[in-house]
Structure 1
Protein backbone atom coordinates (compact mmCIF):
# COMPACT_ATOMS: atom_id res chain seq x y z
CA UNK A 1 0.00 0.00 0.00
CA UNK A 2 1.21 3.49 -0.82
CA UNK A 3 1.25 6.48 1.50
CA UNK A 4 -2.18 8.17 1.91
CA UNK A 5 -2.21 11.96 2.28
CA UNK A 6 -5.38 13.94 3.00
CA UNK A 7 -5.27 17.63 2.08
CA UNK A 8 -7.91 20.19 2.80
CA UNK A 9 -8.98 23.64 3.81
CA UNK A 10 -10.26 23.86 7.38
CA UNK A 11 -11.82 26.82 9.14
CA UNK A 12 -10.58 27.84 12.57
CA UNK A 13 -13.60 26.04 14.07
CA UNK A 14 -12.82 22.82 12.15
CA UNK A 15 -15.36 23.14 9.32
CA UNK A 16 -14.53 21.80 5.84
CA UNK A 17 -17.91 22.36 4.18
CA UNK A 18 -18.01 24.50 1.04
CA UNK A 19 -14.66 26.31 1.32
CA UNK A 20 -14.92 27.61 -2.27
CA UNK A 21 -18.63 28.49 -2.23
CA UNK A 22 -19.57 26.06 -5.02
CA UNK A 23 -22.00 24.26 -2.69
CA UNK A 24 -24.11 27.38 -2.26
CA UNK A 25 -24.17 27.20 1.54
CA UNK A 26 -24.77 30.47 3.46
CA UNK A 27 -21.17 30.54 4.77
CA UNK A 28 -19.57 29.10 1.62
CA UNK A 29 -16.49 30.67 0.04
CA UNK A 30 -14.71 31.26 3.32
CA UNK A 31 -11.30 30.16 1.98
CA UNK A 32 -11.24 33.12 -0.43
CA UNK A 33 -11.52 35.72 2.34
CA UNK A 34 -7.77 35.79 3.03
CA UNK A 35 -6.03 36.72 -0.21
CA UNK A 36 -4.83 34.96 -3.33
CA UNK A 37 -1.40 34.05 -1.87
CA UNK A 38 -3.19 31.87 0.66
CA UNK A 39 -4.98 29.68 -1.90
CA UNK A 40 -2.99 29.83 -5.16
CA UNK A 41 -0.38 27.44 -6.56
CA UNK A 42 0.97 24.38 -4.79
CA UNK A 43 -0.48 25.37 -1.44
CA UNK A 44 -0.36 21.81 -0.05
CA UNK A 45 3.27 21.27 -1.11
CA UNK A 46 2.53 18.32 -3.38
CA UNK A 47 5.57 19.00 -5.60
CA UNK A 48 6.82 15.78 -7.22
CA UNK A 49 3.75 13.87 -6.00
CA UNK A 50 1.90 15.49 -8.86
CA UNK A 51 4.16 13.53 -11.24
CA UNK A 52 4.37 10.26 -9.33
CA UNK A 53 1.24 10.02 -7.17
CA UNK A 54 -2.49 9.56 -7.66
CA UNK A 55 -5.19 12.10 -6.88
CA UNK A 56 -8.19 10.26 -5.39
CA UNK A 57 -11.45 12.20 -5.62
CA UNK A 58 -15.09 11.61 -4.90
CA UNK A 59 -17.70 12.51 -7.51
CA UNK A 60 -18.51 16.01 -6.24
CA UNK A 61 -14.88 17.10 -5.89
CA UNK A 62 -14.06 15.66 -9.32
CA UNK A 63 -16.96 17.58 -10.87
CA UNK A 64 -15.78 20.84 -9.28
CA UNK A 65 -12.13 20.26 -10.26
CA UNK A 66 -13.06 19.26 -13.82
CA UNK A 67 -14.47 22.76 -14.34
CA UNK A 68 -11.58 24.61 -12.69
CA UNK A 69 -8.32 23.06 -13.86
CA UNK A 70 -8.57 21.96 -17.53
CA UNK A 71 -8.78 25.45 -19.08
CA UNK A 72 -5.85 26.81 -17.03
CA UNK A 73 -2.28 26.76 -18.36
CA UNK A 74 -0.08 28.02 -15.49
CA UNK A 75 2.58 25.63 -14.16
CA UNK A 76 0.53 24.27 -11.25
CA UNK A 77 -2.60 23.78 -13.38
CA UNK A 78 -0.60 21.99 -16.07
CA UNK A 79 0.75 19.57 -13.44
CA UNK A 80 -2.75 19.11 -12.00
CA UNK A 81 -4.11 18.28 -15.45
CA UNK A 82 -1.31 15.76 -16.07
CA UNK A 83 -1.64 14.09 -12.66
CA UNK A 84 -3.27 10.65 -12.55
CA UNK A 85 -6.76 10.93 -11.10
CA UNK A 86 -8.91 8.10 -9.75
CA UNK A 87 -12.58 8.85 -9.09
CA UNK A 88 -14.62 6.99 -6.49
CA UNK A 89 -18.10 7.20 -8.00
CA UNK A 90 -20.95 4.86 -8.81
CA UNK A 91 -22.76 7.42 -10.97
CA UNK A 92 -20.16 9.08 -13.22
CA UNK A 93 -19.49 7.47 -16.59
CA UNK A 94 -17.81 10.18 -18.68
CA UNK A 95 -14.54 11.46 -17.23
CA UNK A 96 -13.25 13.14 -20.39
CA UNK A 97 -13.66 16.67 -18.95
CA UNK A 98 -10.59 16.29 -16.71
CA UNK A 99 -7.49 14.74 -18.33
CA UNK A 100 -5.97 11.55 -16.93
CA UNK A 101 -9.08 10.61 -14.92
CA UNK A 102 -10.41 7.08 -14.54
CA UNK A 103 -13.08 5.44 -12.45
CA UNK A 104 -11.98 3.44 -9.44
CA UNK A 105 -12.83 -0.22 -9.73
CA UNK A 106 -14.01 -2.22 -6.71
CA UNK A 107 -14.26 -1.08 -3.13
CA UNK A 108 -12.53 2.09 -1.94
CA UNK A 109 -10.52 0.45 0.84
CA UNK A 110 -9.45 -2.41 -1.45
CA UNK A 111 -8.26 0.08 -4.06
CA UNK A 112 -6.27 2.09 -1.50
CA UNK A 113 -4.66 -1.03 -0.05
CA UNK A 114 -3.65 -2.22 -3.53
CA UNK A 115 -2.27 1.09 -4.86
CA UNK A 116 1.52 1.26 -4.57
CA UNK A 117 1.82 4.97 -5.41
CA UNK A 118 1.23 7.81 -2.98
CA UNK A 119 -2.47 8.71 -2.88
CA UNK A 120 -3.53 12.31 -2.31
CA UNK A 121 -7.16 12.90 -1.31
CA UNK A 122 -8.41 16.46 -1.70
CA UNK A 123 -11.89 17.55 -0.68
CA UNK A 124 -14.03 14.42 -0.98
CA UNK A 125 -15.14 14.20 2.65
CA UNK A 126 -17.08 10.98 2.04
CA UNK A 127 -13.88 9.33 0.73
CA UNK A 128 -11.88 10.71 3.66
CA UNK A 129 -14.40 9.36 6.18
CA UNK A 130 -14.19 5.83 4.73
CA UNK A 131 -10.37 5.97 4.86
CA UNK A 132 -10.40 7.33 8.41
CA UNK A 133 -12.77 4.58 9.57
CA UNK A 134 -10.47 1.95 8.03
CA UNK A 135 -7.40 3.60 9.60
CA UNK A 136 -5.78 4.16 6.19
CA UNK A 137 -4.73 7.83 6.41
CA UNK A 138 -0.99 8.31 6.97
CA UNK A 139 -0.76 12.10 6.76
CA UNK A 140 -2.91 15.24 6.91
CA UNK A 141 -1.92 18.52 5.26
CA UNK A 142 -4.46 20.98 6.60
CA UNK A 143 -4.66 24.63 5.60
CA UNK A 144 -6.37 26.36 8.51
CA UNK A 145 -8.02 29.61 7.52
CA UNK A 146 -8.66 32.27 10.18
CA UNK A 147 -12.42 32.16 9.66
CA UNK A 148 -15.05 30.91 12.08
CA UNK A 149 -17.75 29.42 9.87
CA UNK A 150 -20.10 28.21 12.60
CA UNK A 151 -21.84 25.32 10.84
CA UNK A 152 -21.02 22.46 8.51
CA UNK A 153 -19.15 19.18 8.37
CA UNK A 154 -15.88 18.80 10.24
CA UNK A 155 -12.73 17.06 8.99
CA UNK A 156 -12.82 14.69 11.94
CA UNK A 157 -16.11 13.12 12.92
CA UNK A 158 -16.86 10.98 15.95
CA UNK A 159 -14.39 8.16 16.50
CA UNK A 160 -14.41 5.07 18.67
CA UNK A 161 -10.72 5.42 19.50
CA UNK A 162 -8.26 8.29 19.52
CA UNK A 163 -5.70 8.73 16.76
CA UNK A 164 -2.41 10.33 17.75
CA UNK A 165 -0.42 12.22 15.15
CA UNK A 166 2.86 14.12 15.14
CA UNK A 167 3.27 17.64 13.79
CA UNK A 168 5.85 17.38 11.00
CA UNK A 169 5.79 20.94 9.71
CA UNK A 170 4.03 24.25 10.06
CA UNK A 171 4.20 27.12 7.56
CA UNK A 172 2.28 30.35 7.09
CA UNK A 173 1.09 30.96 3.53
CA UNK A 174 -0.58 34.36 3.69
CA UNK A 175 -3.02 34.63 6.58
CA UNK A 176 -3.45 30.84 6.93
CA UNK A 177 -1.36 28.10 8.48
CA UNK A 178 -0.43 24.86 6.73
CA UNK A 179 0.16 22.10 9.25
CA UNK A 180 1.37 18.65 8.21
CA UNK A 181 0.56 15.87 10.66
CA UNK A 182 1.88 12.31 10.27
CA UNK A 183 1.38 9.01 12.04
Structure 2
Protein backbone atom coordinates (compact mmCIF):
# COMPACT_ATOMS: atom_id res chain seq x y z
CA UNK A 1 0.00 0.00 0.00
CA UNK A 2 1.27 3.46 -0.86
CA UNK A 3 1.51 6.71 1.12
CA UNK A 4 -0.38 9.74 -0.21
CA UNK A 5 1.47 13.05 0.26
CA UNK A 6 -0.05 16.43 -0.52
CA UNK A 7 2.53 19.04 -1.51
CA UNK A 8 1.10 22.55 -1.47
CA UNK A 9 2.26 26.12 -1.96
CA UNK A 10 0.17 28.48 0.19
CA UNK A 11 0.08 32.10 1.24
CA UNK A 12 0.23 33.02 4.90
CA UNK A 13 -3.59 33.21 4.87
CA UNK A 14 -3.90 29.73 3.37
CA UNK A 15 -4.55 30.48 -0.32
CA UNK A 16 -3.14 27.95 -2.79
CA UNK A 17 -4.67 29.28 -6.02
CA UNK A 18 -2.43 30.18 -8.99
CA UNK A 19 0.98 30.46 -7.31
CA UNK A 20 2.89 30.24 -10.59
CA UNK A 21 1.41 32.92 -12.84
CA UNK A 22 -1.53 35.24 -13.67
CA UNK A 23 -3.28 32.84 -16.06
CA UNK A 24 -2.74 29.66 -14.08
CA UNK A 25 -6.17 29.58 -12.39
CA UNK A 26 -8.59 32.47 -12.89
CA UNK A 27 -11.65 30.86 -11.28
CA UNK A 28 -13.81 33.47 -9.52
CA UNK A 29 -11.73 36.13 -11.35
CA UNK A 30 -8.76 35.53 -9.05
CA UNK A 31 -6.49 38.56 -9.61
CA UNK A 32 -3.32 37.58 -7.75
CA UNK A 33 -1.81 34.81 -9.86
CA UNK A 34 1.97 34.46 -9.53
CA UNK A 35 2.17 35.43 -5.85
CA UNK A 36 4.81 32.79 -5.14
CA UNK A 37 7.30 33.63 -7.90
CA UNK A 38 9.25 36.29 -5.92
CA UNK A 39 9.98 33.74 -3.18
CA UNK A 40 11.43 30.96 -5.35
CA UNK A 41 15.14 30.87 -4.56
CA UNK A 42 17.93 28.30 -4.46
CA UNK A 43 16.73 26.91 -1.11
CA UNK A 44 13.21 26.49 -2.46
CA UNK A 45 14.39 24.68 -5.58
CA UNK A 46 16.61 22.43 -3.51
CA UNK A 47 13.61 21.33 -1.46
CA UNK A 48 11.56 20.72 -4.60
CA UNK A 49 14.33 18.62 -6.12
CA UNK A 50 14.31 16.46 -3.00
CA UNK A 51 10.53 16.09 -3.00
CA UNK A 52 10.03 15.22 -6.65
CA UNK A 53 13.46 13.96 -7.60
CA UNK A 54 13.88 11.59 -4.66
CA UNK A 55 10.62 11.13 -2.71
CA UNK A 56 7.78 10.77 -5.21
CA UNK A 57 7.12 7.51 -7.06
CA UNK A 58 3.75 8.41 -8.61
CA UNK A 59 2.07 11.74 -9.39
CA UNK A 60 -1.64 12.32 -8.73
CA UNK A 61 -3.26 15.35 -10.34
CA UNK A 62 -6.61 16.96 -10.99
CA UNK A 63 -7.47 17.67 -14.61
CA UNK A 64 -6.71 21.41 -14.52
CA UNK A 65 -3.29 20.97 -12.92
CA UNK A 66 -2.54 18.10 -15.28
CA UNK A 67 -3.22 20.36 -18.28
CA UNK A 68 -0.88 23.03 -16.86
CA UNK A 69 1.89 20.51 -16.20
CA UNK A 70 1.43 18.71 -19.53
CA UNK A 71 1.77 22.01 -21.40
CA UNK A 72 5.05 22.80 -19.64
CA UNK A 73 7.12 19.86 -18.48
CA UNK A 74 7.42 17.86 -21.72
CA UNK A 75 9.09 20.96 -23.19
CA UNK A 76 11.78 20.89 -20.48
CA UNK A 77 14.26 18.45 -21.97
CA UNK A 78 17.39 19.31 -19.97
CA UNK A 79 18.71 15.99 -18.68
CA UNK A 80 20.41 17.86 -15.83
CA UNK A 81 17.05 19.04 -14.47
CA UNK A 82 16.09 16.33 -11.94
CA UNK A 83 12.53 17.60 -11.50
CA UNK A 84 11.79 17.59 -15.24
CA UNK A 85 13.42 14.20 -15.75
CA UNK A 86 11.41 12.67 -12.91
CA UNK A 87 8.06 14.25 -13.81
CA UNK A 88 8.33 13.34 -17.48
CA UNK A 89 9.18 9.71 -16.73
CA UNK A 90 7.12 8.83 -13.64
CA UNK A 91 3.57 7.38 -13.72
CA UNK A 92 0.92 10.11 -13.61
CA UNK A 93 -2.69 9.52 -12.56
CA UNK A 94 -5.37 12.07 -13.39
CA UNK A 95 -8.79 12.32 -11.77
CA UNK A 96 -11.08 13.51 -14.55
CA UNK A 97 -14.63 12.88 -15.70
CA UNK A 98 -14.07 14.50 -19.09
CA UNK A 99 -10.66 13.43 -20.39
CA UNK A 100 -10.38 10.22 -22.38
CA UNK A 101 -6.86 10.49 -23.80
CA UNK A 102 -3.75 11.88 -22.11
CA UNK A 103 -0.75 12.70 -24.28
CA UNK A 104 1.91 13.30 -21.63
CA UNK A 105 4.11 10.20 -21.34
CA UNK A 106 3.03 7.57 -18.80
CA UNK A 107 -0.29 9.30 -17.92
CA UNK A 108 -3.41 7.41 -16.89
CA UNK A 109 -7.02 8.49 -16.34
CA UNK A 110 -8.66 7.46 -13.07
CA UNK A 111 -12.21 6.33 -13.82
CA UNK A 112 -15.22 6.76 -11.55
CA UNK A 113 -15.58 8.87 -8.44
CA UNK A 114 -12.26 10.41 -7.40
CA UNK A 115 -12.32 9.31 -3.73
CA UNK A 116 -13.00 5.65 -4.58
CA UNK A 117 -10.49 5.69 -7.44
CA UNK A 118 -7.72 7.14 -5.29
CA UNK A 119 -8.47 4.74 -2.42
CA UNK A 120 -8.10 1.84 -4.85
CA UNK A 121 -4.89 3.35 -6.24
CA UNK A 122 -3.41 3.54 -2.74
CA UNK A 123 -4.16 -0.15 -2.26
CA UNK A 124 -2.67 -1.16 -5.61
CA UNK A 125 0.55 0.87 -5.66
CA UNK A 126 3.70 0.80 -3.55
CA UNK A 127 5.83 3.79 -2.61
CA UNK A 128 4.73 7.42 -2.50
CA UNK A 129 1.87 9.05 -4.39
CA UNK A 130 2.42 12.81 -4.55
CA UNK A 131 -0.06 15.53 -5.41
CA UNK A 132 0.73 19.06 -6.54
CA UNK A 133 -1.76 21.87 -7.08
CA UNK A 134 -5.11 20.19 -7.79
CA UNK A 135 -7.10 22.08 -5.12
CA UNK A 136 -10.47 20.52 -5.97
CA UNK A 137 -9.02 17.01 -5.88
CA UNK A 138 -7.23 17.72 -2.58
CA UNK A 139 -10.50 18.76 -0.95
CA UNK A 140 -12.04 15.47 -2.03
CA UNK A 141 -9.08 13.59 -0.52
CA UNK A 142 -9.45 15.58 2.71
CA UNK A 143 -13.18 14.91 3.01
CA UNK A 144 -12.56 11.17 2.69
CA UNK A 145 -9.51 11.17 5.00
CA UNK A 146 -7.10 9.83 2.36
CA UNK A 147 -4.10 12.10 3.03
CA UNK A 148 -1.16 10.61 4.94
CA UNK A 149 1.23 13.56 4.93
CA UNK A 150 1.40 17.25 4.03
CA UNK A 151 4.44 19.10 2.71
CA UNK A 152 3.47 22.75 2.87
CA UNK A 153 5.40 25.79 1.67
CA UNK A 154 4.02 28.83 3.53
CA UNK A 155 4.94 32.01 1.64
CA UNK A 156 5.23 35.37 3.46
CA UNK A 157 2.40 37.07 1.58
CA UNK A 158 -1.36 37.46 2.09
CA UNK A 159 -3.92 37.94 -0.70
CA UNK A 160 -7.21 37.66 1.19
CA UNK A 161 -9.25 35.65 -1.30
CA UNK A 162 -8.99 32.52 -3.44
CA UNK A 163 -8.97 28.75 -3.10
CA UNK A 164 -7.67 27.54 0.24
CA UNK A 165 -5.78 24.38 1.12
CA UNK A 166 -8.50 23.39 3.62
CA UNK A 167 -12.22 24.03 3.53
CA UNK A 168 -14.97 23.44 6.07
CA UNK A 169 -15.53 19.82 4.96
CA UNK A 170 -12.06 18.40 5.69
CA UNK A 171 -12.13 15.38 8.01
CA UNK A 172 -10.79 16.11 11.53
CA UNK A 173 -7.23 14.74 11.83
CA UNK A 174 -4.37 15.43 14.25
CA UNK A 175 -0.95 16.03 12.69
CA UNK A 176 2.58 15.99 14.01
CA UNK A 177 5.37 18.23 12.72
CA UNK A 178 8.08 15.98 11.25
CA UNK A 179 10.33 18.59 9.69
CA UNK A 180 10.56 22.35 9.22
CA UNK A 181 12.88 24.74 7.47
CA UNK A 182 12.94 28.40 6.45
CA UNK A 183 14.33 29.33 3.04
CA UNK A 184 16.45 32.39 2.41
CA UNK A 185 13.41 34.16 0.94
CA UNK A 186 11.39 33.51 4.11
CA UNK A 187 9.26 30.56 2.96
CA UNK A 188 8.40 28.20 5.83
CA UNK A 189 8.58 24.56 4.71
CA UNK A 190 6.72 22.18 7.02
CA UNK A 191 6.18 18.43 6.84
CA UNK A 192 3.23 17.02 8.81
CA UNK A 193 2.46 13.34 9.37
CA UNK A 194 -0.73 11.79 10.70
CA UNK A 195 -1.10 11.56 14.48
CA UNK A 196 -4.51 9.93 14.81
CA UNK A 197 -7.71 11.71 15.74
CA UNK A 198 -7.74 15.16 17.35
CA UNK A 199 -7.85 15.33 21.13
CA UNK A 200 -9.88 17.98 22.92
CA UNK A 201 -9.71 19.71 26.26
CA UNK A 202 -10.79 22.87 28.01
CA UNK A 203 -9.17 25.84 29.74
CA UNK A 204 -12.38 26.62 31.57
CA UNK A 205 -12.05 26.84 35.34
CA UNK A 206 -14.50 24.89 37.44
CA UNK A 207 -17.34 27.11 38.48
CA UNK A 208 -17.23 28.00 42.17
CA UNK A 209 -20.39 27.72 44.16
TM-score (norm 2): 0.79
Q: Deviations over 1:57-104 (max 9, x none)?
A: 0110000001121111222201110111001111122311x2111111
> After the TM superposition, which segments of 4 or more aligned residues of structure 1 sit over 4 Å from their partners?
none
The alignment covers a number of residue pairs equal to 180
User: Within 1, Cα distance between the matches of 2:170 and 2:88?
Assistant: 38
Task: Give the equivalent residue in structure 1 for 2:162.
Answer: 152
Pair 1:102–1:67, CA change in 2 (3 A): same
Task: Give the equivalent residue in structure 2 for 1:59.
Answer: 63
Matches within 5 A, 1:4-15: 4-15=4-15
Q: Which runs of 5+ in 2 are unaligned?
A: 195-209
Q: Does 1:23 align with 2:25?
A: yes
Task: Give the equivalent residue in structure 2 for 1:70.
Answer: 74
User: Within 1, Cα distance between the matches of 2:188 and 2:169?
Assistant: 25
Matches within 5 A, 1:7-156: 7-21=7-21, 22-24=24-26, 25-37=30-42, 39-40=44-45, 42-43=47-48, 45-50=51-56, 53-72=57-76, 73=78, 74-96=81-103, 98-115=104-121, 116-117=125-126, 118-156=128-166
Pair 1:41–1:70, CA change in 2 (3 A): farther
RMSD of equivalent CA atoms = 1.9
User: Within 1, Cα distance between the matches of 2:170 and 2:139?
Assistant: 13
Task: Give the equivalent residue in structure 2 for 1:3.
Answer: 3
User: Structure 1 stretch 3-12 or stretch 153-162: which is displaced more?
Assistant: 153-162
Work out whether residues 65 and 134 of structure 2, in 8 Å CA contact, stay in contact via their aligned partners in 1: yes
Work out whether residues 142 and 178 of structure 1, in 8 Å CA contact, stay in contact via their aligned partners in 2: yes
Q: Which runs of 5+ in 1 are unaligned?
A: none
Q: Does the residue aligned with 2:98 lie in a helix, a strand or coil?
A: coil
User: Within 2, Cα distance between the matches of 1:89 and 1:57?
Assistant: 9
User: Structure 1 stretch 159-168 or stretch 123-132: which is displaced more?
Assistant: 159-168
